[in-house]
Amino acid sequence: MKISAEEIKKIALLSRLNIEDDQIEEVGKQLNDILAYMDLLNQVDITDVAPTAHAVSMRNVMRDDVPQPSLSNEKALSNAPEPENGYFKVPKVIQD
Amino acid sequence: MKYESVIGLEVHVELKTKTKIFCGCSTEFGAQPNTHVCPVCLGLPGSMPVLNKEVLHYAVKAGLALHCDILPFSKFDRKNYYYPDLPKNFQTSQYDLPICLNGYIDIEVGGKTRRVHLTRIHMEEDAGKLVHSGASIDTSDTTFVDYNRTGVPLLEIVSEPDLRSGEEARAYLEKLRSIMQYLGVSDCRMEEGSMRCDANISVRPVGSDKLGTKTEIKNINSFSGVQKGIEYEAVRQAQILDEGGTIQQATRGWEEAKGITVLQRVKEGDADYRYFPEPDLIPIEVSKEYIEKVRAELPEMPDARRQRFQDELGLPEYDANLLTLEKQTADYFEDVVKEGIDAKTASNWMLGEFAKKLNEEGVTADQAPVRPAALAGLLKLIAKGTISGKIAKKVLPEMWSSGKSADDVVKEQGLVQITDTGAIEEIVKSVIAANPQSVADYKAGKKKAIGFLVGQVMKQTKGRANPGVVNQLLTKNLE
Amino acid sequence: MEALTIHALHDKLVNKEISAVELTEKFIARKDTVEPDIKAFLSDNRKNALEAAAAVDKKIAAGEAIADMAGVPGAIKDVICVAGQNTTCGSKILEHFKSPYNATVIEKLNALDYISLGKTNMDEFAMGSSTENSAYQITHNPWNLDYVPGGSSGGSAAAVAAGEAVWSLGSDTGGSIRQPAAYCGLVGLKPTYGLVSRYGLVAYGSSLDQIGPFTNDVEDCAIVLNAIAGHDAKDSTSIPQEKKDYKKALINDVKGMKIGVPEEFFVEGLDDQCRKALEEAIDTYKKLGAEIVPVKMPHMKYGLAAYYIIAPAEASSNLARYDGVGFGFRADGTDIVDMYRKTRTEGFGPEVKRRIMLGTYVLSSGYYDAYYLRAMKVRTLVKQDFDNALRTCDVLLTPTAPDTAFKIGQNDNNPLAMYLGDVCTVTLNLAGLPGISIPCGFKNGLPIGMQLIGKALDEETLLRVAYTFEQNRTDLKKPLPMGEVEL
């Protein structure tokens, strides 16, 4: 097994998802199958190979420091689950 | 046991560009909540960032002024963590290839110059602001989010653990602010949050070169808070060690009102931020030509200006130091001197009455309603003997509140110095007649008694008599 | 058959054989007839469509020139933001989300008087190869309703194949345009990364995503590409270049062109009938004077694994914003972390959650180097293989998928099997290269697709090679599976 039940719980928290205890085995099996397939990559000689993060090889794409119109407060909040007094309201904030 | 503190600072400085780092929203402070926002800084689905040119420009400028290496190839990365002030739940920042590495700041503490090394400077986006309903975020049942600040450009300036005291940390921050202001890249107002500081501190027995377990102090929003917070934490840690305890690696909040740090959260290893290259932003290449172009724009920096004030204007180091700490003050001072005022006189006033007034009003020199030419006008009246220095101290607040020139205030309030010796002599005689005891004291050799008599004359002339003339006439009439 | 293309309908509009409103009404009627069986659409835009059509008719009546696309009904994948309209991405988490802004492609299409009949169904957040992962409905393949239309842009593909729209837009992160085009017997193009702006395309794998068209023929493909391609200052990865007219590339001639055939794409597991159809296609090109060049691309077999690390990694970060704070679905929670977790657990479907978990894992400390960094290096090697092959060849010819469409439900509970079907398409996304899928045959009444791969920004050659095949293999043309649209 590449990924333990403990790790699944940790990854679920990092992802802000809940995995019920009775789902851990199934989720673990699927992830393990996929990760086992990824072992294929260990066959590749990657010595001195630079990583590619972008499909295009451009540099220095920037814009001028010129103000553009913002959204109105009403529009900004138009999709908010709980708008209040021009703010986005959220439940009690705690650290994980 | 005797301990020394080992301190490193992580300073966030908001850049004063017109627009945010990745979108065209205004960076202006103090707007109505959620009005300086757009799909990009709200992190709406489908929106994409584009880097503001001026942010790179300011970052390179700051890097050069702080003697950093500017990296020829730099990129942005995503720092992933969930917090409601972060609409995308990742912060676009720089990880392994920041725009600047190394560098240093020289600080003066206790008459000695110390070099504080920098680890790195990187560009990143600011988060939004959380407003809570209760006394603190931990005790509030709901929180309100304002994304106006989200995406305001930041430089994070990370120092090496080179600082050894709260005083040094404060000097470092003040010097950093000074340099940023000279460059015109940030206002660095701690009270507005445009400069923020997290301090990492550990203590170790003097003579040891092993690093102790550190704590991180957050929530510091004043220069004095930085010093006091570090001093408090140094004592707290030393006490724990003396009592045989161990330091817990943790984040602690500085509570300004109580003057203490309190535990916020215990760190168990580093958080897993899952940094990876930001796919929506293209890497940055900085050419040698660009760096030289920016270098050529660098203004005279505080150290150079201080030296010039000493060499060219003949000011003492103390004066030059204080005058150059804030760029606005130094600019103001030079404008006053340009009006033909003697440098030392201008300095005395700038560091005395004028500084007092700035403090009272909580403004910087550039915001003072009395402009340099007007202050010079006041100082000229003293030089000409029209008013005494003492009267001038009363004129300045009047100019400040009314916006009138020194000339007008002096004329309107009849403050012109009495130079008619006949008139003064009359008063001198009456004062001598009215104070036989003081006269007797004086004649008995208590020369100091003349001070009281001068005071009496000045009182009767409402301060308008020339103190030199009064002294002279009193001496003459007492003999 | 001729009538169901943009270019043919454009001629009819300009010649006043039919008005844009009439045309739109015909397609609305068609949609009403077949949609209960197909389920291609997530929204109905008929009111706006008819208004837009009336505006086109006004222009025609006033003797004004109209754009090639003007007045010809299309459809938009529900992953592209249209101001004031729902953009659900096939997810419950965005059920009521209305975009306050237009994607750049929508701005471009607006300027050309485009008509959209609605937003189309898709695998949730474009994650899937069958459109079964939609939170709303399963779309059916018009060629056989028991089969999937492919994915993730299955709604867009099915809409065109069923005659509910003449063209549509999809998005392609690992094959999500090309594979459904193959399964539905259409022309589907994934342009070069950076040719079409991604601004307003809800991100799945940002370094891989591209918007592209589904059409009934190659000429239409060129017309839609003309409409949507071009530099956009709002997308930092958009490539600055001069505007091209892709219609000029529609040349029926491949004489002397070099067509590479990489053996690694003709994998074990490639269906025999599909292989046969591709061999016939190769023969066609030979007969037309093209030179067929066998090429070797040794790193292709690693492409799929690299893709299924990189795409989920980027997705895990891109989808972090769906947290119930600023927009979209929110579940009640006792505190912020509880709210986040419940919102995301209830709001996302199983495949999206799986990829978020996978992506989070491969980026997490201790695994970054073994998975993500290694995958980025393999990406470099994949890119080099393409560079080498395309140095000697004008285009490469491969299958689009190992087989024709599969039955609905066939790959349930076997995500890896589903992933393996993307083996022919994902490598182009890793390399950022353009690819087009065109029909090259049928197997048991289901279309077979052929993929042509071009050099970066050389969509012209790609279109030319595809066009030549289409013009010379009219034997492959079949009437629309759901019957012709009555005009």
Q: What is the pLDDT of residues C355-371, one digit of tens each?
A: 999 999 999 989 999 99
Read off the amino acid at residue B359.
Answer: N
Residues 6+ positions from B430 with CB-CB distance below 8 Å: B460
Mean pLDDT (chain C, rounded): 96
What is the predicted pLDDT for the residue at B429?
87
Residues 6+ positions from C15 with CB-CB distance below 8 Å: none
Cβ contact B51–C236 (<8 Å): yes
Q: What angle do CA C146, C147, C151 make, to 5 degrees?
A: 145
Q: How many domains does chain A have?
A: 1
Alpha helices for C295-450 (secondary structure H): 300-318, 336-347, 350-363, 374-392, 415-420, 426-431
Helices B302-313 + B166-183 axis angle, to 10 = 80
Alpha helices for B277-325 (secondary structure H): 288-297, 302-313, 317-325
Cβ contact C357–A15 (<8 Å): yes
What is the predicted pLDDT for the residue at C2?
52
Considering the domain boundaries, does residue A75 fall inside one? Answer: no
B219 CA to centre of own chain: 17
Domain span at A35:
5-43
Question: Tell me: the pLDDT tens digits for C385-401?
Answer: 999 999 999 999 999 99
Span C29-41, average pLDDT:
97
What residues does each domain of chain B span?
3-290, 300-412, 421-478
Span C164-192, average pLDDT:
98
Hey, is B31 helix, strand or coil? coil
Question: Tell me: the pLDDT tens digits for A36-76?
Answer: 999 999 999 999 999 999 988 899 999 999 999 999 999 99
How many DSSP H helices and E strands does chain C contain? 15, 10
* C-alpha to C-alpha distance for C220 and C5, rounded to whole angstroms: 7
Give the residue on A whose Cα is nearest the Cα of C301.
A40
Instruction: Establish whether C176 is a catalytic residue.
Output: yes
Please check whether residue C197 is in contact with residue C64, taking contact to mean a CB–CB distance below 8 angstroms: no
Compute the nearest-CA separation of C102 from chain A (Å): 13
Mutation pick from C234, C309, C319 vs chain B, by most beta carbons of B within 10 Å, is C234
C110 CA to centre of own chain: 20
Span B246-267, average pLDDT:
88
Instruction: State residue C350 phi and psi, 5-degree precision.
Output: -60, -40
Q: What angle do CA B314, B316, B321 make, to 5 degrees?
A: 115
Cβ contact C236–B280 (<8 Å): yes
Residues 6+ positions from B16 with CB-CB distance below 8 Å: B27, B184, B185, B186, B187, B194
Instruction: Establish whether C156 is a catalytic residue.
Output: no
| Number of CB pairs, chain B paired with chain C, less than 8 A apart | 100
pTM of the predicted protein model: 0.90
* Better-scored residue on pLDDT, B479 or C277: C277
Instruction: Establish whether C116 is a catalytic residue.
Output: no
> Which tokens go with C55?
């505006």
Instruction: State residue C411 phi and psi, 5-degree precision.
Output: -105, 20
> Which tokens go with C106?
């929508």
Q: Which helix (H) or strand (E) holds C262?
A: strand C258-262
What is the predicted pLDDT for the residue at B108?
87
Q: Which helix (H) or strand (E) holds B430?
A: helix B421-434
Residues 6+ positions from B243 with CB-CB distance below 8 Å: none
β partners of residue B306: none
Question: Tell me: the pLDDT tens digits for C102-127?
Answer: 999 999 999 999 999 999 999 999 99
* C-alpha to C-alpha distance for C303 and C451, rounded to whole angstroms: 16
Considering the domain boundaries, does residue A93 fall inside one? Answer: no
C306 CA to centre of own chain: 21
Has residue C1 got a pLDDT over 50? no
Considering the domain boundaries, does residue A21 fall inside one? Answer: yes
* C-alpha to C-alpha distance for C371 and C316, rounded to whole angstroms: 14
What is the predicted pLDDT for the residue at C165?
98
Chain A residues lying within 8 Å of C344, measured CB to CB = 15-17
Question: Tell me: the pLDDT tens digits for B14-63?
Answer: 999 999 999 999 999 889 999 999 999 999 999 999 999 999 999 999 99
* C-alpha to C-alpha distance for C25 and C34, rounded to whole angstroms: 14
What is the predicted pLDDT for the residue at B387?
84
Cβ contact C329–A18 (<8 Å): no
Look up the ipTM and state it. 0.96
> CA separation (Å) from C229 to A23, C171, C212, C224, C457?
45, 14, 9, 9, 11
* C-alpha to C-alpha distance for B41 and B150, rounded to whole angstroms: 6
Catalytic residue among C99, C129, C152, C168: C152
> Which tokens go with C264?
């690694």
Considering the domain boundaries, does residue A16 fall inside one? Answer: yes
| C80 close to B (CB below 8 A) | yes
Q: In 3D, which of C202, C218, C204, C246 has the Cα closest to residue C106?
A: C202
Considering the domain boundaries, does residue A13 fall inside one? Answer: yes
Mean pLDDT (chain B, rounded): 91
* Cis amide leading into C19 (omega within 30): no
Q: Can you say whether the dihedral through the CA atoms of C411, C417, C423, C429 is positive or negative?
A: positive
* Better-scored residue on pLDDT, C487 or B97: B97
| A44 close to B (CB below 8 A) | no
Pair type for strands B3-14 and B100-101: unpaired
Split at pLDDT 50, 70, 90, the class of A96 is: low
Please check whether residue B215 is in contact with residue B202, taking contact to mean a CB–CB distance below 8 angstroms: yes
What is the predicted pLDDT for the residue at B111?
81
Considering the domain boundaries, does residue C143 fall inside one? Answer: yes
* C-alpha to C-alpha distance for A5 and A93, rounded to whole angstroms: 28
β partners of residue C393: none
CATH of B421-478, one of 1.10.10.60, 1.10.10.410, 2.60.40.10, 1.10.240.10: 1.10.10.410
B contact chains, 3+ CB pairs < 8 A: A, C
Considering the domain boundaries, does residue A14 fall inside one? Answer: yes
Instruction: State residue C68 phi and psi, 5-degree precision.
Output: -55, -35
Read off the amino acid at residue B311.
Answer: D
Considering the domain boundaries, does residue C6 fall inside one? Answer: yes
Domain span at C83:
2-257+436-476
How close are the terminal C-alpha atoms of chain C, in Å?
11
What is the predicted pLDDT for the residue at B122?
98
Considering the domain boundaries, does residue C386 fall inside one? Answer: no
| A57 close to B (CB below 8 A) | no
Chain C residues lying within 8 Å of B274, measured CB to CB = 316-317, 360, 363-365, 368
* C-alpha to C-alpha distance for B302 and C233, rounded to whole angstroms: 39
> Which tokens go with C153?
């842009």
Span B262-266, average pLDDT:
86
Considering the domain boundaries, does residue A36 fall inside one? Answer: yes
Please check whether residue C209 is in contact with residue C171, taking contact to mean a CB–CB distance below 8 angstroms: yes
Alpha helices for B97-222 (secondary structure H): 166-183
* Cis amide leading into C152 (omega within 30): yes
Instruction: State residue B297 phi and psi, 5-degree precision.
Output: -85, -15
Interface of C with B in 98-117 (CB under 8 A): 99-101, 103
Considering the domain boundaries, does residue A83 fall inside one? Answer: no
Considering the domain boundaries, does residue C396 fall inside one? Answer: no
Q: Which helix (H) or strand (E) holds C34?
A: helix C20-38
> Which tokens go with C248?
């000029």
Residue C450 belongs to domain with CATH number: 3.90.1300.10
Per cent of chain C over pLDDT 70 is 99
Compute the nearest-CA separation of A19 from chain C (Å): 8
Question: Tell me: the pLDDT tens digits for B443-461?
Answer: 888 878 888 888 888 888 8
* C-alpha to C-alpha distance for C431 and C302, rounded to whole angstroms: 13
